[in-house]
Amino acid sequence: MIELRAVSKTVMSGGDPLVILHPLDLIVPAGQTIAIVGPSGSGKSTLLGLMAGLDEPTTGDIIVDGTEITAMSEDAVARLRGEKIGFVFQFFHLMPSLTALENVMVPIELRGGRDAAERGRALLGEVGLTGRAHHYPSQLSGGEQQRVALARALANDPPILLADEPTGNLDTENGRHVIDLLFAVHDRRDTTLVLVTHDVELAERADVRLHLRDGRIARREEAGRSVAVTG
């Protein structure tokens, strides 16, 4: 579960404060899938980065699986992230000098996990890339690179998966494959899944759609229910 209480983000821009996120409350229960949608610049990536502890809010508390990350040191948050959160980026962010398998092994080795190679191979199998283990990112298509990135995000079997426009840089067919994999992973592992997306098809598959506008939650939609949020 992820809980945000009165979380806001303001940055200084050219000497003036710029509100990126107005104070918002949000609970993502364990096992839920939620899509964050909204125009470019509405604060989606900022919100996701806060949930991952990659960024600190200006106000408010963020609680991940019962732990208040906003009260922790940067190192402690990084450790918690390694254990609890897998993150998938729009532009894959694979290490170019490492093979697909080595990329997937990195987070396992960072946590001192044994059998990293064996586990890495199993994860590549899970995303349908058994035959690509020894390819470098430059030798893989965009869709394949994103599947490697997904396998890497799953390396430590995290209960939470966050994805920022995971299909934003893929063609329709590869995008659909990655979407199918994300939801297959959710079904199999009961992962909490928070997706930022422009992709209507992808958003439709989530339990909840959260519409951001100008740093505010403008609307929340879930099965049979659509609520405009004012505030």
User: Interface residues with Mg ion (CB under 5 A)?
Assistant: 45
Taking the least distance from each CB to ligand ADP, the nearer of 22 and 135 is 22
Site for ligand ADP in 66-85 (CB under 6 A): none
Q: Give the CA-trace dihedral at 36, 212, 54, 74, to 10 degrees.
A: -120
CA-to-CA distance for 142 and 170, rounded, in angstroms?
A: 6
41: contact with ligand ADP by CB under 6 A: yes
Taking the least distance from each CB to Mg ion, the nearer of 45 and 103 is 45
**Shortest gap between Cβ of 85 and ligand ADP (angstroms)?**
18
Q: Which residues, listed in sequence order, are joined to residue 36 by a DSSP beta bridge?
A: 196, 210
11: contact with ligand ADP by CB under 6 A: yes
**Shortest gap between Cβ of 153 and ligand ADP (angstroms)?**
19
205: contact with ligand ADP by CB under 6 A: no
Taking the least distance from each CB to ligand ADP, the nearer of 38 and 137 is 38
Strands 67-68 vs 160-164: parallel, antiparallel or unpaired: unpaired
CA-to-CA distance for 147 and 151, rounded, in angstroms?
A: 6
Please name which of 133, 175, 176, 171 lies closest in space to residue 151, comparing C-alpha atoms: 133
